[in-house]
């Protein structure tokens, strides 16, 4: 990734985001500690942290094919699980001591089925995820978290006390607060960090211990503030927001920004949806606080039914707050949830006069020429 940022902390984040195995994981495992992978941002990572485990969000970074996994998925499966499972079949995820899937969609459910049949990860679990965001669903997810809590305690021979959960919630909230500070810098007319660089920082946060990530992010914030505008982005034509699903590739955002669109905020599951609000640290029951946060309080995705008006308000609040000129809706092929959501986004944004561009894509960034042309045309239609 090309960057003008001069920061050792950022170099570390870029390295972590650019590979499956990274130095932080190697160091963690060298200390005799264990790693548990997870799919979907609905996973209550605080539970794994309270168990003394490293939560590691699954991705297909570096994958260049699906030759092994194609035998296990249909031709209309999303390419994200196919690339990720392909890496697992090649042994890239052999460092995992466990894997937790959430029933976020049929594609991820098939990953769990195939993983169970073909790989020997010691701890394997799928969590049921409600479809709505009401109080009954919070109670349902609370039970799911308690079931996982018991199974983790039994398998890893640890005790996940309420105090350890509270400590994990505080640590993870600190991560969220620092990430919001990073986003706040992007509100400036000449932000010191662009969208691709920010995504690298966010992805790194899902693949290293919070005890290491938080001080590094604090250091990066100091570096960016001390630069005092010397690295501010000035050569852009429009301020953009990205809305969509699984986007963990900074290079994809870099292609957009190379055409003149500066990505200043987002609603993606590596971005604001993971950190825009905190888990309640003062709640009487920390498990209930987690259930309420992951089902009801954080910005939702279209996987959750009946919450589109709240998502639309969040999107429009972001547009105003970050002075967004246009919105890009990215969707991976065969994702039904985002197909319907982007149709509604297009209609809603048309009413308020905000340009919207929908881009369907494969998991790995391909067809860069077509992407460049679409972005150039989008900017021109905005008169930028």
Mean pLDDT by groups of 10 residues along the chain of 384 residues: 86 96 96 97 97 98 95 90 96 97 93 96 96 97 98 98 98 98 96 96 98 98 80 88 95 96 97 97 97 97 95 97 97 92 95 96 89 95 88
Tell me the C-alpha distance between 236 and 257, whole Å.
Answer: 8
Tell me the C-alpha distance between 290 and 141, whole Å.
Answer: 9
Tell me the C-alpha distance between 362 and 370, whole Å.
Answer: 13
What tokens does 175 get?
């991560």
pTM score:
0.96
> 91, 118 in Cβ contact below 8 A?
no
What integer pLDDT is reported at residue 230 of this predicted model? 62
Strands in 326-332's sheet, in edge-to-edge order, are 261-267, 238-244, 326-332, 356-361
3-state class of 269 per DSSP? coil
């Amino acid at each position: 990734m090309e960057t003008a940022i001069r920061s050792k902390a950022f170099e570390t984040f870029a390295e972590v985001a650019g590979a499956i195995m990274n130095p932080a994981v190697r160091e963690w495992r060298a200390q005799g500690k264990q790693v548990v992978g997870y799919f979907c941002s609905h996973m209550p990572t605080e539970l794994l942290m309270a168990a003394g485990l490293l939560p590691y969000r699954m991705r297909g970074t570096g994958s260049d094919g699906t030759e092994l996994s194609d035998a296990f998925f249909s031709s209309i499966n999303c390419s994200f699980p196919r690339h990720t499972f392909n890496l697992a079949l090649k042994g890239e995820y052999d460092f995992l001591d466990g894997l937790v899937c959430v029933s976020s969609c049929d594609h991820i459910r098939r990953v769990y089925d195939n993983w169970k049949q073909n790989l020997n990860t010691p701890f394997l679990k799928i969590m049921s995820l409600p479809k709505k965001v009401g109080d009954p669903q919070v109670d349902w997810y609370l039970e799911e978290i308690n079931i996982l809590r018991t199974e983790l305690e039994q398998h890893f021979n640890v005790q996940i006390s309420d105090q350890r959960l509270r400590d994990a919630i505080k640590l993870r909230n600190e991560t969220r607060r620092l990430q919001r500070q990073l986003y706040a810098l992007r509100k400036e007319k000449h932000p010191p960090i662009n969208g691709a660089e920010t995504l690298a920082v966010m992805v790194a946060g899902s693949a290293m211990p919070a005890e290491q990530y938080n001080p590094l992010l604090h250091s990066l914030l100091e570096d960016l503030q001390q630069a005092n505008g010397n690295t501010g982005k000035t050569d852009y034509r429009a301020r953009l927001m990205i809305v969509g699903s699984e986007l963990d590739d900074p290079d994809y955002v870099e292609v957009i920004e190379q055409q003149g669109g500066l990505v200043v905020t987002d609603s993606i599951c590596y971005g604001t949806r993971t950190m825009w609000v905190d888990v309640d640290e003062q709640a009487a029951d920390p498990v209930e606080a987690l259930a309420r946060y992951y089902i009801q309080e954080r910005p939702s995705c279209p996987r959750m039914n009946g919450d589109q008006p709240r998502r639309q308000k969040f999107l429009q609040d972001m547009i105003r707050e970050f002075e967004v000129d246009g919105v890009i809706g990215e969707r991976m092929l065969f994702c039904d949830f985002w197909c319907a959501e982007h149709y509604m986004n297009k209609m809603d944004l048309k009413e308020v006069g905000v340009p919207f561009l929908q881009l369907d894509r494969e998991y790995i960034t391909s067809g860069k020429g077509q992407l460049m042309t679409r972005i150039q045309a989008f900017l021109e239609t905005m008169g930028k």
